[in-house]
Amino acid sequence: MTTDRAREPLTNPRAERVRRVAALARRAVRTREGAFLVEGPQGVREAVRYRPDLVRDVYVDPDAADRFPEILEDAREAGLFVRPATREVLAAMGDAATSQGVVAICRMLDVPLAEVLAARPRTLAVLAHVRDPGNAGTVLRCADASGADAVVLTAASVDVYNPKVVRSTAGSLFHVPVVVGVPVEEVLRAVHEAGLRTHAADGVGDVVLTDAELTSPHAWVFGNEAWGLEPEVREVCTDVVRVPIHGRAESLNLAMAATVCLYESARSRPAGGPGATRS
């Protein structure tokens, strides 16, 4: 994989290779190439460490090579070649402020819903029609931190490979299995068939969070940031659960509500119990 020619630094920001990387900012190109761009040391570090099998290319400028030696070391151990490039080339590939001189191109990593369900998950996070990249990424990060087994972005949600989503996950995209592209009705049907309860998170839910049944396997279903969950979705779910509002606030935003719900699941989960799908 490593050749002498490949060791030469990329210096031309207008090179075909550089333009192809930059083009991954567009969804149509990502779909065609089956790849996406990871910008910045945090994302690249986690990609190289946890999913080197997915990493096609890593590009660093000289400054970043000095500042993030652990990325180069992990890449070397994984047998990945890190291609040096000038600062101008990195800036042409993506958002210079975000990338801090290091980017990776990764193959798409989403997995089929059936595969996630076959692993007997205890906690899933389903994002139904979540459109804001920052919200989706933040919930994915929280799902990781709270020990959820997988995240499902339904068909009408934001693209998980959108650069802003990738960045907002802070590397968690490479830690948690992700399912994309399945309509919410199908997701709920399959989740129920797999024996999981479904909890629709909704400010008007009739079950308060601390009373929700979270000791058995379950999926949280979170709705759109502006209009929440559609009535048809709420009706299909086992329970509609509300995070208690103690003060005068009207509601919590999506990411905050998801954080409270997912951490409540973590608290209810017997540590290391059966059904754990992540090591």
Which residue ranges make up the site for a second copy (CB under 8 A)?
A: 42, 46, 50, 138, 141-148, 170-172, 175-176, 210, 243-253, 255-256, 259-260, 263, 266-267, 278
User: How many whole angstroms separate alpha carbon 238 and alpha carbon 217?
Assistant: 12
Choose between 195 and 203: whose C-beta lies nearer to a second copy: 203
Are 114 and 190 within 8 A, CB to CB?
yes
CB nearer to a second copy: pick between 238 and 259: 259
Comparing CB distances to a second copy, the nearer of 89 and 137 is: 137
Query: What is the smallest separation between the CB atom of 246 and a second copy, expressed in angstroms?
Result: 3
User: Cβ neighbours of residue 95 under 8 Å, at least 6 residues apart?
Assistant: 39, 163
**Taking the complex as a whole, how short is the minimal distance between the CB of residue 249 and a second copy, in angstroms?**
4
Q: Among 200, 223, 221, which Cα is nearest to 151's?
A: 221
Q: How many Å is the maximal CA-CA distance in the chain?
A: 65
- Least Å distance between CB 42 and a second copy? 8
Q: Take residue 76 and report the two structure tokens written for it.
A: 């070397």
| 200 membership: H or E segment, kind and range | strand 197-201
Q: How far apart are CA 60 and CA 202, in angstroms?
A: 44
Cβ distance to a second copy smaller for residue 194 or 256:
256
Give per-residue burial for 105-138: e unless 16+ CB within 10 Å, then b: bbeebbeebeebbeeebbbbbbbbbbebbebbbb
Complex with a second copy: residue 143 or 165, whichever CB lies closer: 143
Using DSSP, state whether 270 is helix, strand or coil: coil
In the complex, the smallest distance separating the C-beta of residue 227 from a second copy, rounded to whole angstroms, is 15
Provide the minimum distance between the beta carbon of 169 and a second copy in the complex, in angstroms, as a whole number: 9
CB of 48 to a second copy, least distance (A): 14
Among residues 138 and 157, whose Cβ is nearest to a second copy?
138
Nearest-CA neighbor of 184 among 239, 129, 255? 129
Of the two residues 179 and 233, which places its CB atom closer to a second copy in the complex? 179
Strand, coil or helix: what is 165? Answer: helix
Q: What minimum distance in Å lies between the beta carbon of 34 and a second copy? A: 25
Closest CB to a second copy among residues 25, 260: 260
Question: Which residue intervals of 151-227 are DSSP H helices?
Answer: 163-168, 184-193
Q: Which two tokens stand for residue 223?
A: 């709705």
State the nearest-atom distance from the C-beta of 121 to a second copy, in Å: 13
